[in-house]
Amino acid sequence: MSTSFWLRAGGTAGALGAIAGAGAWTAKTVLDRQAAHARHLIGKPLGEEALVADRTFGKEYGDPVELLLLGDSTAAGLGAEKPKQTLGARLSKRVVKRSERSVRLTTGARVGSESSMLMAQIEGLPRSYRPDVAVILVGGNDVTHRVPTTVAAKHLAEVIEELHDLGAEVVVGTCPDLRALEQVPQPLRSLASRASRQLAEAQRRTAIAHGAWAVSLADVVGPFFLTNPDEMFSLDGFHPSPSGYKRTAKALVPSVLAAMGAHDEELPFGHHAPWERAAQEAQE
CB atoms within 10 A of CB 109: 27
Handedness of CA 95, 98, 99, 102 (dihedral sign): positive
Q: Closest by alpha carbon to 238, among 157, 162, 182?
A: 182
Task: Specify the DSSP element, H or E, that contains 277.
Answer: helix 277-283
Of residues 76, 55, 77, the one with CA closest to residue 67:
55
Residues taking part in catalysis: 73, 236, 239
Spatial neighbors of 103 by CB under 8 A, at least 6 apart, are 56, 57, 58, 64, 65, 67, 92, 95, 96
Contact between residue 109 and residue 72 where contact means Cβ atoms under 8 Å apart: yes
Neighbours of 21 (CB within 10 A): 8
